Amino acid sequence: MTKQKIKTMEELKKIIKNLKSQNKKIVTTNGVFDILHLGHIKYLQEAKKLGDILAIALNSDSSVKQIKGPQRPINDQEARAEVLASLEFVDYIVIFNETDPVKILSEIKPDIHVKGGDYKLGEIIEKDIVEKNNGKIILIPEIKGYSTTNLIDKIIKIYKK
C-alpha cells in the first residue's frame, strides 16, 4: 500500500491534474525527512489540514549530499519515501534531484506550498513560482527542540561517552 503513494513526476502531474479538475485543494511541501521525528509529524499533520491532498517533494540522496554534506542522508531516498508513505495523512511522494523544489513546483502548481516556521517568507526561493501559479505559501510554526541535525548530534554525544 505505501509504495503506491510513491510516484514519478509524470505520474504525479497526471494525478494532480485530475484531482484539480475535481476541485481538490493540493498542498505540497518539500524536504529531506532523513530521520522522522515529532517535529516532522506535527508539521505534516498541520500541512494536511490545509487541503485535500498532501504531496511531498522528497530530496534525492544526491541532492541531500549537496545540501547537507557527504555524511547525509542517514537513510536512503527509498527508505525515506516509504516511511513518509506509511503516514496516513501523506497522499503522495515524489523524489526530485534538484537542490530546491522550484522546477517541481512549477509543474505541480500547488494551491498551497508549506514551509517550516524556521523560514522567513522572503527567504523562500520557491515563493515566486508558487505565487505565479496562483498558489500561496504558508509557514507552519516549528516544534522547538526537534530537528534531525539535533537528533544526530545527540546520538553522537551519547556514543562518544
Confidence band of 152 (pLDDT split at 50, 70, 90): confident
Contact 60, 147 (CB under 8 A): no
Distance of CA 133 to the CA centre of its chain: 19
pLDDT bucket at 1, cuts 50 / 70 / 90:
low
pLDDT beyond 80 at 71: yes
91 in helix, strand or coil?
Answer: coil
CB atoms < 10 A from the CB of 119, how many?
15
What is the domain range of residue 69? Answer: 2-160
- Average of pLDDT values for 137-141? 95
CATH number at residue 121: 3.40.50.620
pLDDT top residue among 52 and 123: 52
